[in-house]
Amino acid sequence: MLRFSAIVLALVFAAAAYAQEFKVNFGLSNGDPNAPIEVEADSLSVDQATGNAVFTGNVIITQSDMSFRAALVEVTYLTEDTGIAKLTGSGGVALQSGNDTAQAETAVYDVESGLIHMTGNVSLAQRGNTITAQRMTVNTANSTAELHGRVRTVLQPAAN
């Protein structure tokens, strides 16, 4: 009985730790933050004071094997040249790489670091499994993702 109780306690503590943070692979391959970024949208406006651009309506951004979709994306440029510092998507964001798809309310892609921070009702679908959380950070350099805050998953058993 003592052994059974110890196993149950170990499972409870493991589940509690698991519910706060979870790491998974994301996407096909290591991304290249220096690869060209292509943007398509219904409209574009540029703030002359800041030089930042705002794309609205069916925004689709692609870089290497990754696509980033949102209703609105603000592009913040580096101050010293015309390179992109970050992309901020809102109005429902979808990120796809290979067969992996993530959705959230907002996302910020820091191009230099290769990190994508997704927040608000995050959902990640991989090979029939679904993981939900409050926040997710995707590292495009090593194709991994970390999920934080009330992580919940539904795992499909392997077929025989």
Q: What is the pLDDT of residues 22-54, one digit of tens each?
A: 677 777 555 566 788 899 999 999 987 887 899
Residue 2, pLDDT score: 41
- For the ranges 6-20, 62-76, 89-103, the lowest mean pLDDT is seen at 6-20
Domain residue ranges in the chain: 22-154
> 66 and 48 in contact (C-beta within 8 Å)?
no
Distance CA 83, CA 104 (A): 26
What is the fold of 22-154? lipopolysaccharide transport protein A fold (2.60.450)
> What is the C-alpha separation between 29 and 152, in angstroms, rounded?
25
pLDDT over 90 (residue 121): yes
Look at residue 52 and give its three-state secondary structure: coil
pLDDT value, residue 13 = 38
Cβ pair 62, 84 in contact under 8 A: no
69-97 average pLDDT score:
90
Assign 105 to helix, strand or coil: coil
Answer yes or no: is pLDDT of 11 > 50. Answer: no
pLDDT beyond 70 at 78: yes
In the prediction, which pLDDT does 69 show?
A: 96
Among 27-31, 38-42, 79-83, 95-99, the least confident range:
27-31
Share of the chain above pLDDT 90, in %: 48
Question: What percentage of the chain carries pLDDT values higher than 70?
Answer: 80
Read off the pLDDT band of 111 (50, 70, 90): confident
